[in-house]
Each structure stands twice: as structure tokens, then as C-alpha cells.
């Protein structure tokens, strides 16, 4: 018996080792497949977010370029406000048209169209001989941005696996922040040129990302959900096999998408039917619209664009003198904004959307109130300058770690497939209008109630956003897009306190 065990032991051991090796190879192959597919989706998300660099760069560079545009073209303060703020207002036209366009020609080619329109506008602005031509370029740039900010999060949400969807869908906001930082650096780098040339170079540099966007068109696939809507099932399966973290789930995911798209295909995706449902929504869709459009508006009415566009004005009011010093201080704001958006990408799928929104809105409220106090009571002194820089950097940090990226994540997650493009466009319109109103009124309002008083108003609005998050925003972490849609079909997502308590218990158990 012992000999038999010995005699067979080697064989059994060999077989067992061989079996283990096969098993381990299988696990390794699956992990490699997961890594490969995740890297592919990562590349797609990065390329899809390049249009956001254009928006961020425009926002950042205009904060400094406007100083020299005013000197060169002799524009008035009202013209300055219009030039800065009109881009956000005009972009709503692109956002409104973006939903229909993306459903007609696809998510991928809508992003390409957005880049072409923006680049045309940027070139016109860089070569503008007067204010009227400058406004024509601004108009085109705004339309291109409207298309871009609406479609990128939708595309990334539709192509990403559930486990990383939140992180990847926040990429557009990350790239907006990167663009803002590049704009600030451009301001500082070219500020030494003559006033007739420097702002043109600043604006012209913004056309460079178009080269990478052109390359992206040959790399990224079309959205599998859009392909299903067009009954191109085999093509959708091919894309899912490239992007899904687990190949065995591809057919299941494809079936879910087909089921979600069934109503769309049954009605041949008639535009009137979609807008009819949005304008006369069911209780579930109404809750989606309140959550999606509400978070978009709160993202802007808390004054982030005023802080970014007019940071030189804020620092000047705090006591900093000289254009070079003002632009150098704005670079610090840009670095802070970019660093904290990178932190957000690591936390959004681990901590969850709602906890980060609480941290963000509470932190912003505190910093905005502190900035109002600093500018009202401690201006024109070294202490006041340091506190002003600290409060502005703190405000953009809390914005970037929460409501900045999560706003776009939520609006790309919560709407059903048949409504996603148009509803996301509607949310983007709310964001752009809010941004435009804030940017176009900041200087006038600050003249009436002082810059410090204006930030007290922003602090009050930010405090209201905390209550909105508590009442109207559910947790969507770890749920498929189809599961999120089902959440809004009952009243539970609106029971903010009860849901939040369960979330906190789960978080504590996890820790």
C-alpha cells in the first residue's frame, strides 16, 4: 500500500502540479485579458477626453489673455464680460444639437466634428483684427465646446466596464483641468511678448490638440450601445470583446443593452418621441432630470468659472500688483485644480459618488465663505494675499475632488439608453447657461456688492447644494447602467437620509 502510494505519488503529484499549472495559466491569461481590455478602454477614454483639453485651455488662457486683449483692442468692461461669458452661452447650441448629431452619425464622429468646429474658431480668434471678428471666432469655439462637453462623458460611460466607469467617465473633467493649467502656464510664458502679439500666441497654441484628436479617430471604436441602437449587433459584440473586463460576460452585457435598446429600436428612435418623454416625463424620468440637471447647474452657480476666469481680478483685489505676479499666482491655482482631480479618479469608484459630493460641497462652502471674509476684511496686506490664494486653491481643490468630475459621471450614468444623449445634452445646456450667466455678470455684480460680497453669495448657493446632494443624489457606484435606470423607477433614490445611512453602514463595515 505504501509502495503503491509512493509509486503513484509521483504520478499524482505530477498530475496535480500539471493541473495547477493549467489552472494558474488560465487565471493568468484571464488577468492578462482583463489588463489588456482595461488598458484599451483607458486609451479610448483618454482620446475621447481630448476635446475637454480645448475647453479647459480656453477657460484658463482667457483669464490672462483678456488683460492684453483689453490693452490691444481697447475693449470696454462690458465687452470683456461678454467675450469671456458668451462662450458658455453659445456652447448650449452645440450641446442641444449634440444629442441628435451623436444619435445620427455616432458618438465617435460627433467628437471629431466638435474638434473641427472649435479649431476653426480658435484660429479666427488668434488672427482677429478687431472685437467683431474675435466674437465670430468665439461663437464657433463655443459651438464646438458644446458638442465636446456633451458627448465625451456619454461615450466613455457607454464603453467602460462597470467597475471603472466612474473613474474613466471623470476623465473629461481631468482633461479640462489639465487644459486650464496649460492655459495658465501659456499666459505666464507668453506674457513678456508685446500686447499685440502675446494674446494671439496664447489663443493660437490651443489649436495643437487637434493633431492628437485626428490620431484618436483611428484608434477609438464606436460606442457599442450606439451600434446596438443601429442594429449593428456583430460590430457591438466586437467592441465589447475588446473593452469588457470579463470576456464571458460579453453576451450577457450585449443582451442587457439590446433589451434596453428595444424600446428605441421599436420606435425607430424618433426624435419627437424622445423629447416628448423628456418634456412630459414619468415620475422616474422626472427624478433623473432633477438629479442630472440639478447637479449640472450647482456645479456652475457655485462660481467655479468666475474663480477660474477672473482669478487675476480676485488676486488683484487681494493686493497683488503687476501682471506677471498675478499670472504666476493663477498657475498655482491651475496646479492645485489638476492635482486634486487626479486624486478624485482614484477615489470615485472606491469611496463612491455621494461621500465625495458631501466632502466637495461642504469644503467649497467653507472656502468661498472664507474668501469673502478675506477680501472684505483683510485686503491689500500680505496676510490677506496669502489667505486669498489659500481660499481660492482650497475652493478649486474641493471642486475638483467632488462635484467637478462627479457631475459628468452622474449625468452620463443615470439616464436610460433611449434618452441618454438628449438628456445629457439638456444637462450640459444647464451647465453652460449657468456658467455663462456667472461669467458675464461677475464683474458687474462685484462692482455693486464688492468682490468679497460676491463670494458670500457663492457660499450661500454652495450651502444649498449640500442639501440638494443629500435629498436628490443616489449612490451609483458599482451598478450597471441598466441597474441605475431601475433605481429611478421607484421612490427609493429620493429617500436621501435612509439611503445615506445604509451607505455609511456599508462603508464602515468595509473599512
- Cα separations (Å) of 494 from 277, 352, 500, 510? 21, 17, 10, 24
Residue 464 has pLDDT above 90, yes or no: yes
Query: What value does the mean pLDDT take over residues 468-484?
Result: 81
The pair phi, psi for residue 380, each rounded to 5°, is 65, 25
Strands (E), 121-229: none
- Check: CB of residue 52 under 8 Å from CB of residue 175: yes
Share of residues in the chain with pLDDT > 90 (%) = 13
Provide the 8-state DSSP code for 489.
T
pLDDT at 110 over 70: yes
Radius of gyration of the chain (CA): 25
Question: Phi/psi of residue 475, each to 5°?
Answer: -85, 130
Please give the pLDDT value at position 89: 80
> What mean pLDDT is predicted for residues 87-106?
81
Question: How far, in Å, CA of 476 to CA of 121, rounded?
Answer: 37
Q: Residue 272 is inside which H or E element, if any?
A: helix 271-279
The C-alpha cell at 85 is 461669458
Please state, in angstroms and rounded to a whole number, the distance separating the CA atoms of residues 204 and 214: 18
Model confidence band, residue 437 (pLDDT cutoffs 50, 70, 90): confident
CA 158 to chain centre: 15
Percent of the chain with pLDDT strictly greater than 70: 84
Q: For the purposes of burial, counting CB atoms within 10 Å of the CB of 131, is it exposed (0-12), middle (13-18) or buried (19 or more)?
A: middle
Tell me how far apart the alpha carbons of residues 119 and 117 are, in angstroms, rounded to a whole number.
6
Give the pLDDT mean for 104-127.
88
Estimate the share of the chain in helix, then strand, then coil, as percent rounded to the nearest 5.
85, 0, 15
| Stretch 436-461: mean pLDDT | 90
Write the CB contacts of 141 (distance below 8 Å, at least 6 apart in sequence). Answer: 58, 87, 117, 118, 121, 122, 125
Contact 168, 117 (CB under 8 A): no
Which residue from 419, 111, 414, 482 is spatially nearest to 269, judged by alpha carbons? 419
Q: 372-396 pLDDT, tens per residue?
A: 999 888 766 778 888 999 999 999 9
The predicted model gives 114-138 an average pLDDT of 90
Calculate the average pLDDT of the chain: 79
The band of 460, judged by pLDDT with boundaries at 50, 70 and 90, is: very high
Look at phi and psi of residue 161 and say left if phi exceeds 0, alpha if psi is from -120 to 50, else beta.
Answer: beta
H helix and E strand count, the chain: 23, 0
Largest CA distance in the chain: 103
Domains and CATH numbers, the chain: 35-265 (1.20.1250.20), 281-489 (1.20.1250.20)
Cβ proximity of 130 and 79 under 8 Å? no
Q: Which of 307, 340, 326, 338 is nearest to 385 (CA)?
A: 326
pLDDT at 266: 52
CB 367 within 8 A of CB 400: no
What span, in angstroms and rounded, lies between the C-alpha atoms of 408 and 386?
32
Amino acid at each position: 500500500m505504501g509502495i503503491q502510494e509512493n509509486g503513484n505519488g509521483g504520478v499524482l503529484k505530477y498530475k496535480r502540479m500539471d493541473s495547477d499549472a493549467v489552472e494558474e495559466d488560465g487565471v493568468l491569461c484571464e488577468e492578462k485579458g482583463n489588463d489588456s481590455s482595461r488598458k484599451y478602454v483607458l486609451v479610448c477614454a483618454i482620446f475621447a477626453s481630448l476635446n475637454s483639453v480645448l475647453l479647459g485651455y480656453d477657460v484658463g488662457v482667457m483669464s490672462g489673455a483678456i488683460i492684453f486683449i483689453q490693452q490691444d483692442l481697447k475693449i470696454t468692461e462690458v465687452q470683456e464680460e461678454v467675450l469671456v461669458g458668451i462662450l458658455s452661452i453659445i456652447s448650449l447650441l452645440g450641446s442641444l444639437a449634440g444629442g441628435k448629431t451623436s444619435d445620427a452619425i455616432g458618438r465617435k464622429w460627433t467628437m471629431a466634428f466638435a474638434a473641427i468646429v472649435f479649431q476653426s474658431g480658435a484660429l479666427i480668434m488668434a488672427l482677429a483684427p478687431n472685437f467683431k471678428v474675435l466674437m465670430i471666432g468665439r461663437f464657433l469655439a463655443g459651438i464646438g465646446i458644446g458638442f465636446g462637453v456633451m458627448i465625451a462623458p456619454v461615450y466613455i460611460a457607454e464603453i467602460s466596464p462597470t467597475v471603472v466607469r466612474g473613474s474613466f467617465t471623470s476623465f473629461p473633467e481631468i482633461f479640462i483641468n489639465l487644459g486650464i493649467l496649460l492655459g495658465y502656464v501659456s499666459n505666464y510664458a507668453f506674457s513678456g511678448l508685446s500686447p499685440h502679439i502675446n494674446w494671439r500666441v496664447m489663443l493660437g497654441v490651443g489649436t495643437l490638440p487637434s493633431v492628437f484628436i485626428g490620431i484618436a479617430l483611428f484608434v477609438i471604436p464606436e460606442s457599442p450601445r450606439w451600434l446596438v441602437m443601429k442594429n449593428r449587433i456583430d460590430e457591438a459584440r466586437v467592441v465589447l470583446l475588446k473593452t469588457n473586463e470579463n470576456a464571458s460576460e460579453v453576451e450577457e452585457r450585449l443582451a442587457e443593452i439590446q433589451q434596453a435598446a428595444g424600446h428605441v429600436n421599436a420606435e425607430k428612435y424618433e426624435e419627437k418621441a424622445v423629447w416628448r418623454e423628456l418634456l412630459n416625463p414619468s415620475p422616474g424620468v422626472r427624478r433623473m432630470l432633477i438629479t442630472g440637471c440639478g447637479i449640472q447647474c450647482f456645479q456652475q452657480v457655485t462660481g467655479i468659472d468666475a474663480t477660474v476666469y477672473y482669478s487675476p481680478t480676485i488676486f488683484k483685489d487681494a493686493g497683488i500688483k503687476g501682471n506677471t505676479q498675478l499670472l504666476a499666482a493663477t498657475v498655482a491655482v491651475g496646479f492645485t485644480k489638476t492635482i486634486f482631480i487626479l486624486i478624485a479618479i482614484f477615489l470615485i469608484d472606491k469611496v463612491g459618488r455621494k461621500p465625495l459630493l458631501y466632502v466637495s460641497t461642504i469644503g467649497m462652502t467653507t472656502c468661498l465663505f472664507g474668501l469673502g471674509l478675506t477680501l472684505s476684511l483683510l485686503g491689500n496686506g500680505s496676510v490677506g494675499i496669502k489667505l486669498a490664494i489659500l481660499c481660492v486653491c482650497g475652493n478649486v481643490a474641493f471642486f475638483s475632488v467632488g462635484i467637478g468630475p462627479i457631475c459628468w459621471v452622474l449625468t452620463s450614468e443615470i439616464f436610460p439608453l433611449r434618452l441618454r444623449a438628449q438628456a445629457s445634452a439638456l444637462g450640459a445646456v444647464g451647465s453652460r447657461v449657468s456658467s455663462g450667466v456667472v461669467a458675464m455678470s461677475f464683474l458687474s455684480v462685484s462692482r455693486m456688492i464688492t468682490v468679497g460680497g460676491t463670494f458670500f453669495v457663492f457660499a450661500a448657493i454652495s450651502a444649498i447644494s449640500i442639501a440638494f446632494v443629500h435629498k436628490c443624489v443616489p449612490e451609483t457606484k458599482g451598478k450597471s447602467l441598466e441597474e441605475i435606470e431601475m433605481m429611478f423607477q421607484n421612490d427609493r433614490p429620493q429617500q436621501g437620509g435612509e439611503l445615506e445611512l445604509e451607505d455609511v453602514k456599508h462603508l464602515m463595515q468595509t473599512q
